[in-house]
Amino acid sequence: MKKRVYIETSIPSFYFETRTEQEMVARKNWTIDWWKNESHKFELVTSLAVLEELKKSPHPNPKRALDFIQNISLIPLVEEIDSIVDEYIEHFVMPKDPKGDALHLALASYHRCHFLLTWNCRNLANANKFEHIRHINTVLGLYVPILATPPELMGGNTEEE
């Protein structure tokens, strides 16, 4: 069985990145490389929250990014997600604004995604925050996804053991 990866907004955004700073070009290249060479090894999912963020994005290619992920399965936004988001904010796991980071984490956790793939290293793929996230998810009885960037999810065994 393939492991499930929640595709957060920054992934399709970086696939079509236009900034020319070295770090931005590197992230774009890693994203493209992961997508072309690794993504087929996983069950990819995303959410309406990602679609809405892309629609509202000041990114120069939102339509291309939306089209790019149109065939990815959408996980449902169920009632319980709102209370999980509130818990994350109440326990300072995620900032109040933007509420989107808490929502992405709640969706990936509730739907038992093995990974949440992101370039958001401030609030999501941040090793300094992981223990706090793990603690709160454990208290809430939620699965704890691995929060990773594309280079961290390249190669290796992707099948469930």
**Which domain does 122 fall in, by range?**
4-153
**For residue 94, what is the domain's CATH number?**
3.40.50.1010
**3-class SS of residue 6:** strand
Residue 100 in any domain: the answer is yes
Domain count within the chain: 1
Q: Quick one: how far is CA 84 from the chain centroid?
A: 16
Q: Per the domain annotation, does 158 fall within a domain?
A: no
Q: List pLDDT tens digits, range 118-135.
A: 999 988 989 989 999 999
The residue to which tokens 């990773």 are assigned: 148
pLDDT at site 4: 98
Per-residue pLDDT tens over the stretch 20-42: 999 999 999 999 999 999 999 99
Assess if residue 17 is contained within a domain. Answer: yes
